[in-house]
Amino acid sequence: MTAPFEVPARCPNCGSVLEVREVVCGACDTQIRAHYHLSPFDLLDPEQRRFALLFLRAAGNLREMERLLGVSYPTVRKKLDEIIEALGGPAATSEPDAGSSGSGTPAGPRQAILERVRRGELSVDEALALLGRLESGDEEPRPDGARRSPGHREREEARG
């Protein structure tokens, strides 16, 4: 059996985001057909995915990334900013202090999840699952890992 290919995220003809419609069990050949959404990480190019995985394994420590990749801090920061932007995060407007650990108050749910990985409270797989749920809109994971029901906003607005 040959090694599987990576799932292409974009149509080679028009560049639109592709939709996965079938998954198959490699052990028993069971096939499941449905409309599946790609993870936001699938939309990153292979180099960006490798960088993101390494970033999570380094617990978000940019100095450790600098050491592992053998590149300068500004290069690491630039690559990280490109990935954040590709995942739908805000574009970098200014470069933070290179000595900063990034342990300030997270600016949003994505940053809160990454901060929990950095502190060792979440594994890489748990973080990826939370980020995937956040992107799919199925539910809004809170930074503490608890789940909010889809109607929580309406209840909060009614209270207040």
- Position 19 in a domain: no
Give a yes or no: residue 37 inside a domain. Answer: no
Q: Is residue 76 part of a domain?
A: yes
Would 5 be classed as within a structural domain?
no
Confidence of residue 3 (pLDDT cuts 50, 70, 90): low
Give the global pTM.
0.47
DSSP string, the chain: -PPPPPPP-B-TTT-PBP-EEEEE-TTT--EEEEEEPPPGGGGS-HHHHHHHHHHHHTTT-HHHHHHHHT--HHHHHHHHHHHHHHTT-PPP-SPPPTT--S-S--SSHHHHHHHHHHTTSS-HHHHHHHHHHHHHTS-EE-TTS-EE-TTHHHHHHHH-
What digits encode the pLDDT tens for the residues 117-128?
Answer: 887 778 888 888
The pLDDT mean for the chain works out to 76
In a domain, 52, yes or no: yes
Domain count, the chain: 1
- Is 27 within the bounds of a domain? no
- Whether residue 158 is contained in a domain is answered as no
Give the pLDDT confidence of 14-41 residue by residue, as tens digits: 988 888 888 899 899 999 998 888 788 8
Range of 126's domain? 42-91+101-146
Residue 46 lies in a domain: yes
